[in-house]
Every structure is written in structure tokens, then in C-alpha cells.
Amino acid sequence: MATDLLALTLLKSPGELGASIAFGNSQRFGVPMGCGGPHAAFFAVKDELKKQMPGRLVGKSWDQYGVPTYRLALQTREQFIRREKATSNICTAQALLANVSAMYAVYHGPKGLKDIAMEVHKATVLLAEGLRLLGWTINNETVFDTIMISNGDISTDKIQRRCDEKKINICHYGDGLLYGVSLDETVIGSDLIDLLYVFGANEEEAASVLYSVSDADSNVSITGSGHERETPYLTHPVFNSYHSETKLLRYMKELENRDLSLCHSMIPLGSCTMKLNPTSALLPVSLPQFNTIHPYVPSNQTTGYQGLIDELESYLCSITGYDKFSFQPNSGAQGEYAGLCAILAYLRDKGEGQRDICLIPASAHGTNPASAIMAGLKVVEIPMNKEGEVTKDSFKQKIEEAGDKLATIMVTYPSTSGVFEDSIREVCDMVHYYGGQVYVDGANLNAQVGLCRPGDYGGDVSHLNLHKTFCIPHGGGGPGMGPIGVKAHLAPYLPGHPVTGPNPLKSFGTVSSAAWGSASIIPVSWAYILM
Ligand SMILES: *Cc1c(COP(=O)(O)O)cnc(C)c1O
């Protein structure tokens, strides 16, 4: 069941309604729109499904003194254990944003959240009743924050002109007859008056319409609908203790003091990850010009973003030797998936749909085999020798064995142990000779930037982890951005998105709900490269 966290403070929970799995996005718990992200999605399951969940589960037990303790139920990321049998390829997730949303809930608590939800809901009901008075039909039985509106006698052109005048975006459901409006906690009375004006009231009329309606006896209200929530939520003390800014500040500081960070010592993160994130590169994330934009606004409202992304694309092309980038993937693993899908679409288009083998060295990052399986490939592992190396000869043998079934190989360069193997060109040439494509895992491009370029030594596609090499903080596991670069022949097969026009014919599809993934952190990498 798709859910909305704020709505669930008023509505019966998915669990009570019999759902096995509930999922949704936590964006509206205090995370800016950011033209699409970053924000944390979530899913939750009934008890009997919890062992099938991917990732790290935290279990509660008791130590020898009877003190409650928390432990990781799965020791490490599951792709590192299960590899091609993993149930998910996700590694970098949205931990930082999950914490932002959690703190929003900690600060407001169950009662505060319900008050916010009720404000949003009341405003929506008032708008619905006002629109009815103006002669519109409301196409919902019960609403929370979104209404669908039809059958007015005012033209789409006029509505659009008035939207432009008031700087409001509404949803057009295509046929010019049905419109959608969603409200959030930032909406105030004058916004409702503006919306009534947009839908045909004149300026004076709009205010009097709003003051003449009431939410009390509305039949679209949740109150009295039978859907009202009666069960408690957020009963843990942490959600009921820190409802002033100073209390919250002290709680957060107390948590921060438990962190081992660059302020204290060298930090034990992988060699891959940027350890210093200059403040100046991070500033844009909190500027309203970047973070208040809805990802589905008309494209003439995102020309700044488009210019910035075009520039970043040209920098990344010159750094990597690739010809084109897609900024849709939100992480390295999602980039792997998208890149592999682009390769498969390209091969199918060439009439070589039988190619389904992906060769991956045993030393590869766990996401590689997990992504390959998700993309529908068969993983063949290339073993390491006693020294832990994958030799050119073992590559050669596996490439020959795969023959006309070879779709792609996924290589990490320099190798996972940090060695710039001098046979990389030969291996890439061999793959191309046998009709396959080369996926270079570019997560840790910092070892190559300015020294060599995957596009020069034989790569056809790579993801770059902007949250490793290009300075986006890793946030205890995210947010990330994993754009993929490709050589020109793969460009037509990159992900498409409805916001940037109908999917190009050859595109394999879409991997994110927003056209440029977590767009609002892209300025971090742009600024870092310029500096
Ligand atoms: C981090 C990493 C990945 C996965 O990237 P995520 O953004 O965590 O999904 C893939 N390959 C290598 C070599 C990595 O270091």
C-alpha cells in the first residue's frame, strides 16, 4: 500500500487495513523538494516478511547484565555476502535524509504532527468547498491534501494565465478538463484565495467565497468518514521529549558527540570516500533558489538547474572521456543498473539479444553482481589467483568461453586493491573483439581524475559516485548521486523521463521518479570542480 506519512496521523494505518507491505516517501517530514531530491523513501512489512527485507536489520537483545543492547542482525551489507543472490543492489541509501525526517518527528511529536496534518487537511477541505461554490466538481470521495477538479466553465488558457500571475503550479491531467491541486503545511489563507481566483473567482469574490465555506459538514472531510485513525503512533519517549528548539539542539548535539569524525581523528571509511567537504560547496543546498523547486514544474522554471547540469556534464565528459551523461541515478548501484540496462537495450537493438553474460572479477564491489542480476544478466565470476589478483589470462579464458553470449564485463580500475593493471586496454579490446561492452565501475574516480580516462582506455559506460569522488558528503550512507557517462553509441539508450519530454524511442526506460535524481546536491559537485 502506497502511503503518506503525514496523512497516516489522521488515517487508519496500512497494517490495520490488512496490507502486508507499506511504502512511501518521507519528503514531507521536513525535507525540501530540491527539484526531486534527495529524500528518503521507506518500506515497512508485517512480521512474517521481515527476514526477506534487504539491508541491515538492527535487533534488540540484552547483555549479561540485563542491559538492552542493539546489534546488527546481518553483519554487513547483504550484497557483500550474497553477491549475485542478494535481494537488493542498494548500498548508498538516504540515511542523512532519513535522519532529517526522524528529527522532524522528534521535534513535533505525535500531537504536533497531527496538528500539522489537520491544518493541511482543513485547508484542502475549505478549498474543495470553495471550488464547489464556484461550480466545479470535486472528483474525490474523501481527501487528505489533494483534490481533483473538473467541469468548470473557465478555459485552460485562462487558468494557466492566472497560475502564471500568482506563481502557482497546478496539475493538468492531460485532457484540459481535469486539474489537481495538492496543499502542504506552508499554505496560508491568502494562497487559498489565490487558488479560488485561479479557478475563476474574481479578486473580491475569492475572499468572500473562502469565508463563507466551512470544513465542519463537508463530505470530503476525513472527520466522520469512517477512515479516521484511532490507534496511537510514535509512542517511544524520543518522540515525546524534545519539543523546543533548545531541547532538540541538545539532543542532536548529544548524538553528534558520539560520532567519530574528522574533528577527532582520521576516519575509518573506505579509501574511496571524500573526507573533507568544504562548507562553500554545501551552501547551495540550503538556498531556496535550489531547494524549493518541485521536480515536475514546467521546464521554463528550471533553466538555472538545466544550465548548471549542462555545465557539470561537460566537465564530467572532459574528465572521463565519455560523450554523454545521465543524471537520473541516485547512487552508484542505481547507475550500474541503468548503465547495464542501456547496454542490453543497445545489444537488442543490434539484433544481439542473445548476449546475456556479465563477467565480474571475484574482487568486485558487492553491488556489481547484484545490479547485473537485477538488470537480467547472468553473472560469471572471474576467480582471483593466490595473490588476490585477477589476471589477464583468466579474463581471456572467460571472455572466450562466453563468446557470442558475452554482453558485458564490469571492471574496477584501478582494481579493488588499488593496482593500475597495465593490461586494462588489452582486456577492453578483447571484450570489444568478442562483441561485448565494457562497464568500468567509476565509483572511486578520484584515483583517476587528471591521470587517465575510462573513455580513452576502453570503457563504454561508467557510473561516477558524486558522493565519493566529487565531494557530496556521504552522510553516514547517503544521499548519493550516481550519474552515468557513456560513449556516443550508447547515448540513445540512456534513461528517459516524462518531465524532459516523451521517452526517446531507444531509451530503456526510467530509473528515478525525478528527471535529475537528487538534483539539489548536484551544485556541490559543480562547485567543487570549479574550485
Ligand atoms: C561505493 C561503490 C559502489 C556502489 O555505489 P553506491 O553509491 O554505494 O551504490 C560500487 N562500486 C564501488 C567500487 C564502490 O566503491
Select from 77, 273, 367 the residue to mutate for testing ligand 1; criterion: most ligand atoms less than 8 Å from CB. 367
Band (274; pLDDT cuts 50, 70, 90): low
Cα–ligand 1 centroid distance for 365 (angstroms): 7
Tell me the three cell numbers of residue 181: 491541486
The number of beta carbons lying within 10 Å of the beta carbon of residue 515 is: 26
DSSP 387-450: TS---HHHHHHHHHHHGGGEEEEEEESS-TTS---TTHHHHHHHHHHTT-EEEEEETTGGGTTT
Ligand 1 centroid from CA 314, angstroms: 23
**Alpha-carbon distance values, 403 to 297, 407, 424, 489 (Å):** 47, 9, 19, 21
Give percent of the chain above pLDDT 70: 96
- The answer on pLDDT for 54 being more than 80 is no
C-alpha span between 238 and 248 (Å, rounded): 10
Q: Residue 203 above 90 pLDDT?
A: no
Q: Which atom of ligand 1 is nearest to the CA of 92?
A: 8
Q: Which residue has the cell 581523528?
A: 265
Predicted pLDDT of residue 432: 98
Q: Stretch 495-506: mean pLDDT, rounded? A: 86
Give the helix/strand (H/E) hosting 150. strand 146-150
**Ligand 1 pocket mutation, candidates 56, 76, 360, 365, criterion most atoms within 8 A of CB:** 365
| pLDDT: which is higher, 74 or 467 | 467
Band (pLDDT 50/70/90 cuts) for residue 265 is confident
Whether 148 has a pLDDT exceeding 70, the answer reads yes
Instruction: Check residue 50 and give its pLDDT.
Output: 83
Protein residue closest via CA to atom 4 of ligand 1: 332
Confidence at 271, pLDDT banded by 50, 70, 90: low
pLDDT at 268: 63
Residue partners of 88: CB distance under 8 A and separation at least 6: 54, 55, 78, 79, 370
Per-residue pLDDT at 149 exceeds 80: yes
Enter the C-alpha cell of residue 241: 521529549
Q: Would you say the CB of residue 412 lies under 6 angstroms from ligand 1?
A: yes
pLDDT above 80 for 346: yes
**pLDDT at residue number 473:** 85
Q: What is the mean pLDDT of residues 202-207?
A: 91
Lowest mean pLDDT among 77-86, 109-118, 427-436: 77-86
Asked whether 370 lines ligand 1 (CB < 6 A), one says no
Distance 418 CA to ligand 1 centre (A): 15
Give distance in angstroms: CA of 205 to centre of ligand 1: 57
Ligand 1 centre to CA of 92 (Å) is 7
CATH code of the domain occupying 312-530: 3.40.640.10
Instruction: Label residue 15 by pLDDT band (50, 70, 90).
Output: very high
SS (H, E, C) 335-389: HHHHHHHHHHHHHHHCCCCCCCEEEEECCCCCHHHHHHHHCCCEEEEECCCCCCC
Q: Which ligand 1 atom lies nearest to the CA of residue 336?
A: 10
Which of the four pLDDT bands, split at 50, 70 and 90, describes residue 429?
A: very high
CB 92 near ligand 1, within 6 Å: yes
Say whether pLDDT at 75 is over 60.
Answer: no
**Mean per-residue pLDDT for 128-149?**
96
Secondary structure element (H or E) that encloses residue 319, with its range? helix 303-320
DSSP code, position 85: G
443: CA distance to ligand 1 center in Å?
5
Q: How confident is the model at residue 70 (pLDDT cuts 50, 70, 90)?
A: confident
Mutate to test the pocket of ligand 1, among 77, 78, 90, 91 (most ligand atoms within 8 A of CB): 91
In whole angstroms, give the CA distance from residue 257 to residue 375.
42
* Distance from residue 328's CA to the centre of ligand 1 (Å): 16
Whether 273 shows a pLDDT value over 80: the answer reads no
Q: Is 333 in the pocket of ligand 1 (CB under 6 A)?
A: yes
Domain ranges (residues) in the chain:
312-530
Distance of CA 190 from the midpoint of ligand 1 (Å) = 47
pLDDT for position 506: 94
Model pTM score: 0.93
